[in-house]
Chains A and B, each alone.
Chain A
Amino acid sequence: MHMLDSMIPAGPLEEKWTRYKGTVKLVNPANKRKLEVIVIGTGLAGSSAAASLGEMGYKVKAFCFQDTPRRAHSIAAQGGINAAKNYQNDGDSVYRLFYDTIKGGDYRAREANVYRLAEVSTHIIDQCVAQGVPFAREYGGLLSNRSFGGTQVQRTFYAAGQTGQQLLIGAYQALERQVALGTVEMFSRHEMVELVIIDGKARGVIVRDLVTGELERHFGHAVLLCSGGYGNVFYLSTNAMGSNVTAAWRAHRNGAYFANPCFTQIHPTCIPVSGDHQSKLTLMSESLRNDGRIWVPKQQGDNRKPNQIPEEERDYYLERRYPAFGNLVPRDVASRAAKERCDAGYGVGSSRQAVYLDYAAAIQRYGKAEVSKHNLGNVSTEVITNLGKEVVKEKYGNLFAMYEKITGENPYEVPMRIYPAVHYTMGGLWVDYELKTTIDGLYALGEANFSDHGANRLGASALMQGLADGYFVIPYTLGNYLADEIRTTPISLDHPAFVEAEKKANDRIQRLMSIQGKQTVESFHKRLGKIIWDQCGMARSEEGLKKAIADVQALKKEFWSDVRIPGEVNAMNPELDKAGRVADFIELGELMCVDALNRNESCGGHFREEFQTSDGEALRDDEQYMYVSAWEYNESGWDLHKEELNYEKVKPSQRSYK
């Protein structure tokens, strides 16, 4: 084991980024044209990075597995994006956003990165507005804000419940503009299957053309992984069906350390599982907790319909337990509280694995406000209700419609049933201040890295981080590396390292295809998901994790001896693509359990049952575990390396939202 150096610039926290930018090495325009950069993934981080680097003059190649870059899963983010603009004059500042994020992450994030994130957050909003992103606006024409969990200010910018879509389309259009200008070459329906390393530096990738099945070699002076998170290890998650860890995992197998893999986010407000056929879960945006009230019946196993349960027989457990933040506690806290109520027998719906998210009070409140705004005088409750519904529809209409499509129930009339589901992964490839992994020339941006959210991410911060990394961080930090690469001429694709990497990828594919077993890829993925969800989900224990490790190892053996993949290698074969991804998820699943077992404390989304306060809150152990765990792969398992976390600015304390 060795301590990792995160290369944080010297100086006071507030000045680090400014000083860094002022002294970092630059690449002159003529040299930029000779330098090639590979970008894997075209979500917010990948699209914004590829577009920005293209604008600067680098030669960029961008890859995505979808049919067009605009489909990347950032598109599904609903609620909003944070920025320390303080447009609401409610006391927000760069420091507050920084502090909230550090605290929300339960003091397991790196101060310098988070401060930089808060600093650049304001530029993101400006950039997106300039691109024509149609954010919500007030009648005066200025930008509107709303609240999100874990904060007491209104700093979230949004576009109805489709903020991710609008931001991604902004970045996608910037990317397509560069494609048209010839600075970016776009490869859709291509998946990275191997990393090419020459003399210790990342120099290219092997990708599979998902239409023809052919393997291709691509050279780059640097490689950026913007491939998103690994929530699909759980099988059921709010991630897209294709979201996968393969690019990051191939990098990990080639020497990039994987950090804090057990830090995963279970989002409190998702539509509950309806049956074994379920292929994915759908999020109901956290913004709904602005106005909705969460409750369960006070009586266990209450079979009455929600509207028949009188007010005094309802337990608004978040408001009861956390009066200061109420329904807007951070996600980890809200999820655990829902699980606690359901485990104790108070759950609702046929599965009893759900709680109510109720808009009745908000509809009345908004209805009355409309009556007074339009001076309508004495009107019936029905009129008030209808006016209230209209307001709710404008704010959350698309979410309510989605709920109704999936469940067949009308959320304007009956409370929504919700339950926590896997949503985001704070862990990811270890990166230093420059977003560089432990492999020279290999960078990780957005959800694919681990750096900014500690053990729990606050709502509306994922979009912020993805765009911060792509628009405002990598354009500076990459130059610092490439400035020393201006003498490196493009390396031939016949170089032995390319040949070897392609052979490795091809061997793996051949091995998968030759198994010809009896069980489908999907069935293995489901079983893996169940193991990880049961033992490495919302609550973890030493006993459960040890069992899970053994179970995953057994599953891995079974997979590699009995998986059945139809079709051919040299043709479109979605089952083969999926098999490669699931094989990687299985290995990652084991590492998540290893990491969770190592961390003998509870923090953020990582809740070890053995370590809790008397009232059931996460009990951190700062003496022993105030570090980032960074795992190095080797053939027999993993070696643990640590990055010590030093808090110069914020004093870690027991996180309280009471």
Chain B
Amino acid sequence: MQHYTMNLNLKVWRQKSGTSTGGFETYSVSNISSEMSFLEMIDVLNERLIKEGGDPIAFDHDCREGICGMCSMVIDGRPHGPWKGTTTCQLHMRAFKDGDTITIEPFRANAFPVIKDLMVSRSAFDRIIQAGGYVSVNTGNAVDGNAIPIEKEKADDAFAAAACIGCGACVAACKNASAMLFLSAKVSHLALLPQGEPERKQRVVSMVAQMDKEGFGSCTNTYACEAECPKEISVLNIARLNREYLNASLSGS
């Protein structure tokens, strides 16, 4: 792989706090290596801003290996940037070329208020989980792990849904700021497993109610969520969610 360096223009959303108005600021960065990660490029800029007496850009990040779900950002109009199935922290600068202008914004949704610059609050997701995204089993109640065989295919499908990292890209990608992909991933994960069976109906009803209460929009099946999901969670989960919801509503739960 050929490595190269580049000079870039960055248009970055700056907003002092949740209550202040924000706007774009333009920065130029030079000598950026194609081997850097996108966040390392921002680190370089922030180090410079600190030295110049400026205010570094606030952004969420932690594991920097694509699994914690803390990083966010809309890069050139796309949550987590141009690479498919990739979080911002795993996006590398070889995705860009010398002279590019890159626009960087926070995830935008009413239910995800901005805290500062590129940082938003996604605590609405925690409250959706609190509404029923679990199996009610206390520590110590369990039977042997192999007591209930589970079809491999079902276990694999449950895992594929459970791979959601709760980053919120689905919401940011959706024109309605709907949280259906996030919610459906959890409902699917638990509905596919025998352990989730006893609370299956109550769970989906409560979680959907909480989602609505948080102010997320409705799903109009444009599938932008699936296209931008860094873990490539399938929209088939939304179809399953709708079936689960209908089933639970019709049977009176």
By a beta-carbon cutoff of 8 Å, the part of chain A in contact with chain B is 48, 51-52, 55, 66-73, 75-76, 85, 87, 123, 125-132, 134-143, 157, 159-160, 162, 164-166, 169, 172-174, 176-177, 179-180, 186, 188, 211, 238, 240-242, 274-275, 277-280, 282-283, 401-402, 405-409, 471-472, 475, 518, 520, 522-523, 564, 566-567, 571-572, 574-575
Other than the known A68-B122, A408-B92, what 12 A-B pairs have Cβ atoms closer than 8 Å? A87-B146, A131-B135, A132-B190, A134-B193, A160-B159, A165-B67, A169-B162, A173-B135, A174-B139, A180-B130, A241-B63, A282-B65
Choose one: B1, B91, B152, B165; the contact of A138 (CB below 8 Å).
Answer: B152
Q: Is B98 in the interface zone, CB < 8 Å from A?
A: no
- Within the complex, the shortest CB–CB distance from B127 to chain A, in Å, comes to 9
Q: How many residues of B contact A (CB 8 A)?
A: 80
Q: Which of B36-44, B172-180, B218-226, B239-247 is the contact stretch?
A: B36-44
Q: Which residues 148-205 in B have Cβ within 8 Å of A in the complex?
A: 148-152, 155-156, 158-159, 162-163, 165-166, 189-190, 193, 195-196
Q: Decide if B40 touches A278 in the complex (CB within 8 Å).
A: yes
Specify which chain A residues have a CB less than 8 angstroms from the CB of B129 in the assembled complex.
Answer: 172-173, 176
A574–B56 contact, CB under 8 A?
A: yes
Q: Would you give the shortest CB distance from B251 to chain A, in whole angstroms? A: 22
Contact of A566 with B152 at beta-carbon distance under 8 Å, contacts A176-B134, A177-B130, A408-B92 already known:
no
> Contacting A68 at CB < 8 Å: which of B51, B123, B134?
B123
Q: A71-B62, A142-B146 are in contact. Are A55 and B139 (CB under 8 A)?
A: yes
Residues on the A chain within 8 Å of B135, using CB:
130-132, 173
Q: Is the CB of B155 within 8 A of A66?
A: no
B13: CB under 8 A from chain A? no
Q: Report which of A176, A277, A522 forms a contact with B126, defined as CB distance below 8 A.
A: A176
Contact A575 B152 (CB under 8 A): no
Q: A136-B155, A165-B67, A574-B56 are in contact. Are A520 and B189 (CB under 8 A)?
A: no
Are the C-beta atoms of A130 and B90 separated by less than 8 Å?
no
Rounded to whole Å, the gap between the CB of A138 and the closest CB of chain B is 7
Q: Which residues of A contact B121 (CB under 8 A)?
A: 67
Please name the residue on chain A nearest to B167 by beta carbon: A71
Q: How far is the CA of A85 from the CA of B144 in the complex (A)?
A: 10
Among A66, A138, A405, residue most surrounded by chain B Cβ atoms (within 10 Å): A405
**Cβ A575 vs Cβ B50 within 8 A:** yes
- Complex contacts, A71 vs chain B, CB 8 Å: 62-63, 68-70
Residue from A142, A180, A277, A279 in contact with B64 in the complex, judged by beta carbons closer than 8 Å: A279
Q: What A residues does B49 contact at CB under 8 A?
A: 566
CA A571 – CA B150 in complex, angstroms? Answer: 50
* A289 to B250 Cα, complex, angstroms: 51
- Most chain A beta-carbon neighbours within 10 Å: one of B1, B69, B94, B125: B69
A177 and chain B: residue at smallest CB distance:
B134
CA distance A401 to B156 in the complex (A): 19
CA distance A85 to B119 in the complex (A): 44
A274-B35, A277-B40, A405-B92 known; A130 and B56 CB under 8 Å? no
Verify if B33 is at the interface (C-beta below 8 Å from A). Answer: yes
Q: List 29 A-B contacts (CB under 8 A).
A: A123-B142, A126-B145, A129-B148, A131-B134, A131-B195, A134-B189, A141-B151, A141-B155, A142-B146, A143-B146, A169-B162, A176-B134, A240-B68, A241-B64, A277-B33, A277-B35, A277-B40, A277-B44, A282-B64, A283-B65, A402-B66, A402-B90, A405-B83, A405-B92, A520-B50, A522-B47, A571-B17, A572-B17, A575-B56
Assembly CA distance A537 to B59 (angstroms): 31
The 10 closest A-B pairs by CB, nearest first: A141-B149, A173-B134, A130-B142, A126-B142, A134-B159, A180-B130, A408-B1, A129-B145, A52-B139, A240-B62
